[in-house]
Amino acid sequence: MALITNGRAIFNSYPGGFPEPGKTIIYDGKSTIDLDLVSLNGGVLVKTLELSIDPYLRTLMSQPTMGYKIGRPTYGPGIAVVLRSENEKLKVGDKFRISMMPHQQYSVLKEEQLGDLNILKNPYNLPWSTFIGILGMPGLTAYEGWRYYSKAKKGEILFVSSGAGPIGSLVIQLAKLDGLKVIASAGSDEKIKFMDSLGADVTFNYKTTNTAEVLAKEGPVDIYWDNVGGETLDTASANANICARVIACGMISGYNNNHATPLRNIWQVVARQIHIFGFHVSNQYPNEFYEFLEPEIAKGDIKYAEDRFLGLENVGEAMSRVQRGLIKAKAVVHVADEAH
């Protein structure tokens, strides 16, 4: 076999504010690879199938010391299939997930790049992209955060911001399973419809409806799952019930403005005995996570949604849209089908 194109997304410049398509990350279609002859040096040759474009990837663009390097491929959580292997953990045809998959069509991965390797079983034949969404890091984040920090009691009131995103949409469904009343916000009417379809009791578009008014009417809030930070966190704190829990999952409203919005209502933490839990998802996917979610997803009882971008040419665009809230659901870049 001969040289073929190995398309890649390349980090091109540090964004001051929002990442810009065609500037922050660019597509390089000139690189080539020989799939038969490329030497593995003990590693594996893989073909990328699906890539996850997550809000947190913005932090990898923020400083030279940590994260993306100018002129090098960007990376993030992804699924690939093994084409050749000199690593005993992986054999040809294995599908696996790692959290630092290079944004290129084909990669030779050394042992140390397989750090958090997950070989995927997929007994229900779900689309591979679910394993970077509801069955991947975002799903695990919702699952762990809810399980460890919600201390949810039936009849309590949850407020979740960015409730249509991959994390928020699972949080809504976990809370409904636990018998809570769910208030959920998002930034478009399409997202509102999606949240309604998940069983949320009160949904609203925070761009056209006043969050404080909704919470004053529908609260007080026992659990606030925070995906956005900023003003929304302040408003939730002002409408928190006594002994409320804030699950501080993410603060996307501050990612592109240097976290400019402070928390004015911090004093409510003492006044109302609020507990705030900042946490990071682990990279241990427990069996019960899959065993609980996979059949529910297969039956359609637990739902998810995706916003699919086709090809590595769209990584820059997808990154920008995720940060600007211009996506409808979990952002996935579909790179290739399983068969080659």
Residues lying near a second copy in the complex (CB under 8 A) are found at 229, 233, 248-251, 254, 259, 262-264, 266-280
Least Å distance, CB 336 to a second copy, is 34
Least Å distance, CB 278 to a second copy, is 4
Q: What is the DSSP string of 291-302?
A: HHHHHHHHHTSS
- 103 membership: H or E segment, kind and range: none
Which listed residue (250, 290, 314, 316) binds ligand NAP by CB under 6 A?
250
Stretch binding ligand NAP (CB under 6 A), from 10-18, 109-117, 159-167, 216-224? 159-167
**Backbone torsions φ then ψ of 176, nearest 5 degrees:** -65, -40
> At which residue do the structure tokens 């394993």 appear?
131
Residue 195 engages ligand NAP in binding (rule: CB under 6 A): no
Spatial separation of the C-alpha atoms in residues 228 and 159, rounded to whole Å = 12
Query: Residue 266 touches which of a second copy, ligand NAP, none (CB < 5 to 8 A by kind)?
Result: a second copy
Least Å distance, CB 281 to a second copy, is 10
Query: Residue 203 touches which of a second copy, ligand NAP, none (CB < 5 to 8 A by kind)?
Result: none
Residue 130 engages ligand NAP in binding (rule: CB under 6 A): no
What number of chain residues touch ligand NAP (CB under 6 A)?
Answer: 29
User: Residue 277 in contact with residue 246, Cβ under 8 Å?
Assistant: yes
Residue 132 engages ligand NAP in binding (rule: CB under 6 A): no
Q: What Å distances lie between residue 325 and 55, 207, 228, 310, CA to CA? A: 10, 12, 11, 19
Partners of 309 in the β-ladder: 333
Query: Residue 228 touches which of a second copy, ligand NAP, none (CB < 5 to 8 A by kind)?
Result: ligand NAP
Spatial separation of the C-alpha atoms in residues 252 and 83, rounded to whole Å = 37
Residue 167 engages ligand NAP in binding (rule: CB under 6 A): yes
* Nearest C-alpha neighbor of 161 from the set 248, 238, 244, 220: 248
Instruction: Give the β-pairing of 95-102 and 75-85.
Output: antiparallel
Burial bucket for residue 131 (CB in 10 Å: 0-12, 13-18, 19+): buried
Is 72 or 280 the residue whose CB approaches ligand NAP more closely? 280
Least Å distance, CB 309 to a second copy, is 26
State both tokens at 3. Answer: 């040289």
* Nearest C-alpha neighbor of 129 from the set 76, 52, 45, 198: 52
Residues in contact with ligand NAP, shown as a per-residue x/- string from 9 to 48 under the rule CB under 6 A: ----------------------------------------
Residue 279 engages ligand NAP in binding (rule: CB under 6 A): yes
Binding site for ligand NAP (CB under 6 A): 54-56, 137-138, 141, 162, 165-168, 186-188, 191, 227-228, 249-253, 270, 279-281, 322, 325, 327
